[in-house]
């Protein structure tokens, strides 16, 4: 929206704002976007909602120990 010159305000739901500060992302928490009424239609045409599925976050490295056993 910024690159198109549309001002916006983000409002985080749940722990979203804390997660963005701590982890740098808010993928699992919804964010409400507010734009001026006169730019609403343009903003809707720019933004495309993409559903996020839990399997999008499956990462095998998350289940492995951080260091190999023989490096102790």
pLDDT of 20-57, one tens digit each? Answer: 666 665 555 677 889 999 999 999 988 876 666 655 55
- In this structure, the chain runs to a length of 72
Q: Are 46 and 6 in contact (CB under 8 A)?
A: yes
Of 41, 46, 65, the residue nearest 3 (C-alpha): 46
Q: Are 31 and 11 in contact (CB under 8 A)?
A: yes
pLDDT level of residue 12 (50, 70, 90 thresholds): confident
- pLDDT of 72 over the 50 cut: no
Cα separation, 19 vs 26, in Å, equals: 6
In the predicted model, what is the mean pLDDT of residues 5-30? 70
Selected residue with higher pLDDT from 68 and 37: 37
What Rg do the C-alpha atoms of the chain give, in angstroms?
A: 18
Domain segments of the chain: what residues? 2-52
The pLDDT score that the predictor gives to residue 30 is: 73
Would the pTM count as exceeding 0.75?
no
């Amino acid at each position: 929206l910024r690159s198109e010159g549309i001002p916006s305000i983000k409002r985080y739901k749940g722990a979203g704002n804390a997660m963005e500060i701590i982890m740098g992302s808010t993928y699992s928490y919804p964010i409400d976007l507010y734009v001026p009424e006169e730019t609403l239609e343009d903003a809707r045409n720019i933004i495309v909602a993409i559903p996020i599925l839990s399997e999008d976050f499956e990462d095998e490295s998350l289940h492995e120990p951080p260091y190999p056993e023989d490096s102790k």
